[in-house]
Amino acid sequence: MKPVKVGICGLGTVGSGTFNILQDNAEEITRRVGRSIVVGQIGARRDNPTCDTTDIDITRDIFDVANNPEVDIIVELIGGTSVARELVLTAIENGKHVVTANKALIAEHGNEIFEKAQAKGVMVAFEAAVAGGIPIIKTLREGLSSNKIEWLAGIINGTGNFIMTEMTEKGRAFDDVLKEAQALGYAEADPTFDVEGIDAAHKLTILASIAYGIPLQFEKTYTEGISRITAEDVSFAQEMGYAIKHLGIARRTKAGVELRVHPTLISKKALLANVNGVMNAVMVKGDAVGPTLTYGAGAGALPTGSSVVADIIDVARTLTADPTNRVPHLAFQADQLSDEAVLPMEEIECGFFLNMTIQDRAGVLANITQILSTNGISIESVIQREREGSDLVPLVVMTHDVKERNMNAAIAAIEALPDVAGAVQRIRVENLA
């Protein structure tokens, strides 16, 4: 069979990984696919010294690649959402298949892109957009296709997990670890996307859509970062048998779908609590299979390139297939997407870890437990500590599951107590089994 020609747009970290895998593993890939996959053209503003592009047609204008009639599959690795969107739509318009690693593009413009791809009978593959090298899109869309997905929960941002791991293992403060993460190149100069959960929310939006067959709804995903988490929170959580992880969680309930990214206490014994450093992992609970977990590198040139090239191979295999028999973009047939509501955060139900500073005075704890009880909240455990030379002491309360709405009311009432100093720190608790 004649070779499949790939056009790579963007030769940064992921672009170079993709290019080098296609070159280094060319023989193995050909033995698998039954035809060779070659780089027909590269569109990049500058060369990349890690890539030997001798004899490769390179253009500085990525749209040359999208318009190149020799190219079968466009690989969009430029990042961002504006030019990337235009590039992908142009490629689709030209009848080309698309592979992308761009989570923001898919989460924010996926509905439009998939609709156009569907109309033109081409595929848009995006395994690398979520959790780097972990084939979680394939696992959800195909490996667990016989299941109703009950929930999924993932560590899907390596920077955030590195920070939480260091805070947990070494008792370090957030700011301190963030600076190291920046020095190591794990975190950007502006770390907002990672530490405030936006990157994780992009990925969760995608996972939830393919789990439940709902349109991409990034704007409805609740997003809370880890920058407020203190070394004291981590230490109290550990004392209670928990680790704090920054999780993306999607769950289907009778009332609708939960979509939320926030720091979360999970049992130290849970496998997910033992996923450390920059590694990623996603748990999926299916009604038939039960709980599953997939673990691996969530970023980096070669791990992300691994998923990009696996997608290229998948697309190459179905170039001649009847489009109606392909795996649908969002796992469910485009005309079968569901309009299930995304639940507002007030409707979510989970346990809570509350950390507050109170006056060391008789009756304060009684007032607080009274407020919780009035709001229908039952307590699982309490830690109250003396603090030498201070009449302000920490109080930590762990509650059983309760609606966020009730907890909001309780926290407002607690913060209004004269004997409670400052804000109540609230971290959600999940039992993922």
Nearer to a second copy, 308 or 411 (CB): 308
Determine which helix (DSSP H) or strand (DSSP E) holds 12, and give its type and residue range: none
According to DSSP, the β-strands at 256-267 and 420-429 are: parallel
String marking each residue 185-224 x if it binds a second copy according to CB under 8 A: ----------------------------x-----------
Q: Choose which of 58, 83, 319, 417 interacts with a second copy (CB under 8 A).
A: 319
Give min distance, CB of 75 to a second copy, in A. Answer: 12
* The one-letter amino acid at 246: H
- Residue 67 in contact with a second copy, rule: CB under 8 A: no
Count of chain residues binding a second copy (CB under 8 A) = 68
**Which of 8, 377 has the CB closer to a second copy?**
8
Separation of alpha carbons 409 and 187, rounded Å: 36
3 state DSSP class of 314? helix
Interface map 37-56 toward a second copy (x if CB under 8 A): --------------------
Q: Enumerate the active-site residues.
A: 203
The nearest distance, CB 388 to a second copy, in angstroms, is: 35
Q: Which is nearer to a second copy, 264 or 306 (CB)?
A: 306
Query: What are the structure tokens assigned to 286, written together?
Result: 């299916």
SS3 144: coil
The residue (of 56 and 319) whose beta carbon lies closer to a second copy is 319
Q: Which amino acid is at 312?
A: I
Residues 240-279 close enough to bind a second copy by CB under 8 A: 271, 274-275
CB 60 within 8 A of CB 36: no
Number of Cβ within 10 Å of residue 298's Cβ equals 27
DSSP state of 63: H
Burial class (CB in 10 A: 0-12, 13-18, 19+), 214: buried
Q: What CA–CA distance (Å, rounded) separates 377 from 77?
A: 48
**Contacts of a second copy in 94-123 (CB under 8 A):** none
* Residue 10 annotated as lining a ligand binding site: yes
The crossing angle, in degrees rounded to 10, of helices 13-24 and 301-317 is 60
What is the rounded end-to-end Cα distance, in angstroms, of the chain? 47
- Beta carbon nearer to a second copy, 67 or 238: 238
User: At which residue do the structure tokens 């698998």 appear?
Assistant: 32
Tell me the two tokens of residue 235. Answer: 């230490």
Judged by CB under 8 A, does residue 158 bind a second copy? Answer: no
Site residues (CB under 8 A) for a second copy, limited to 18-37 = 21, 24-25, 28-29, 31-34
Q: List residues near a second copy by CB under 8 A.
A: 1, 17, 21, 24-25, 28-29, 31-34, 127, 133-135, 138-139, 142-148, 213, 271, 274-275, 281, 286-297, 300, 302-303, 305-310, 312-314, 317-322, 324-328, 331-333, 336
Binding residues for L-homoserine: 188
